[in-house]
């Protein structure tokens, strides 16, 4: 969805993107990993304008911070 810009559910191509903002504490649009430097992870949200389906992505830069967090582990 992020790359094809096509909804995987209904095939719609009216995709809306809401960029996450780093450091926007308490905005409700960021994943909180506790009171650490990871608190401001930016989450980009893609929403289908046809059926309302949404997906969320963490930016590649922030993914590195998440992977290095002691709160996060591979499964
Ligand atoms: Zn859709």
CA dist 27 and 13 (Å) reads 28
* pLDDT value for 10: 97
* pTM of this structure: 0.64
Residue 3's pLDDT band (boundaries 50, 70, 90)?
confident
Distance from the alpha carbon of residue 52 to the mean position of ligand 1, in angstroms: 6
Whether residue 12 is predicted with pLDDT greater than 80 in this model: the reply is: yes
Distance from the alpha carbon of residue 70 to the mean position of ligand 1, in angstroms: 36
Distance from the alpha carbon of residue 44 to the mean position of ligand 1, in angstroms: 17
Distance from the alpha carbon of residue 14 to the mean position of ligand 1, in angstroms: 8
8 A C-beta contact, residue 46 and residue 54: yes
Distance from the alpha carbon of residue 51 to the mean position of ligand 1, in angstroms: 4
8 A C-beta contact, residue 1 and residue 47: no
Domain boundaries, the chain: 15-67
% pLDDT > 90, the chain: 28
């Amino acid at each position: 969805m992020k790359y094809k810009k096509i909804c995987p559910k209904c095939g719609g191509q009216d995709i809306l993107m809401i960029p996450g903002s780093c450091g926007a504490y308490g905005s409700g649009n960021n994943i909180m990993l506790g009171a650490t430097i990871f608190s401001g992870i930016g989450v980009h949200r893609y929403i289908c304008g046809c059926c309302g389906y949404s997906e969320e992505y963490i930016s590649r830069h922030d993914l590195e911070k998440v992977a290095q967090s002691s709160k996060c582990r591979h499964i």
